[in-house]
């Protein structure tokens, strides 16, 4: 007697998602959840001037942590103060992981975030313009009057899962 085991693909299998400001807060939660749901995630740590950390190192550590549990994430570097540095990311990511199907840019809020927000909105526009046709772009605004980290991350993940389901749906 032969048994066939059905293999169910994770909901975001085949998606490549670029997440900017992915090493802390909502960006980290989004990147981790997307990976857990089967997406290959391009992690960009966006150095915040005055924060005293190394965004590239933080991105590498997050990717190592995710790889340690069998998930796919690669670190990338771009300079928030040079938004044009983000234009080449989608090509680099496509060469490494495949075409980018979605991007998420977290616009910081809260303490110190208000002066960074305009720069992040500009780089968000650069990222959106560099995406291949049909790719989804999500900008998450974390102003103090916005949603909590958990709610913001969950909303982004749910949106991308719904979109991916429509992309995968057979056309009839």
82 contacts 119 by C-beta, under 8 angstroms: no
Residue 132 lies in a domain: yes
What integer pLDDT is reported at residue 165 of this predicted model?
A: 81
**Domains contained in the chain, number:** 1
Range of the domain at 150: 16-166
Residues present in the chain in total: 172
What integer pLDDT is reported at residue 30 of this predicted model?
A: 93
Query: Chain-wide mean pLDDT for the chain?
Result: 84
State what percent of residues in the chain have pLDDT above 90.
45
Residue 3 lies in a domain: no
| Joined tokens for residue 85 | 């540095």
Residues 99-133 have pLDDT tens digits of 999 999 988 876 666 778 888 899 999 999 999 99
Residue 172 lies in a domain: no
CATH number at residue 73: 3.40.50.720
Within 8 A by CB and 6+ apart from 154, the residues are: 33
What integer pLDDT is reported at residue 167 of this predicted model?
A: 66
């Amino acid at each position: 007697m032969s048994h066939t085991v059905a293999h169910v693909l994770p909901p975001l299998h085949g998606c490549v998602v670029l997440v900017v400001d992915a090493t802390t807060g909502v960006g980290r939660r989004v990147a981790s959840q997307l990976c857990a749901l089967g997406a290959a995630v391009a992690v960009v740590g966006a150095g915040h001037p005055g924060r005293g950390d190394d965004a590239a190192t933080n991105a590498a550590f997050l990717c190592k942590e995710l790889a340690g549990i069998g998930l796919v994430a690669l670190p990338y570097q771009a300079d928030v103060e040079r938004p044009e540095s983000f234009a080449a990311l989608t090509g680099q990511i496509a060469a490494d992981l495949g075409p980018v199907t979605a991007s998420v840019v977290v616009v910081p809020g809260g303490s110190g975030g208000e002066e960074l927000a305009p720069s992040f909105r500009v780089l968000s526009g650069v990222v959106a313009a560099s995406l291949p046709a049909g790719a989804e772009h999500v900008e998450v605004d974390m102003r103090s009057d916005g949603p909590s980290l958990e709610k913001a991350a969950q909303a982004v993940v749910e949106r991308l899962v719904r979109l991916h389901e429509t992309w995968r749906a057979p056309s009839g």
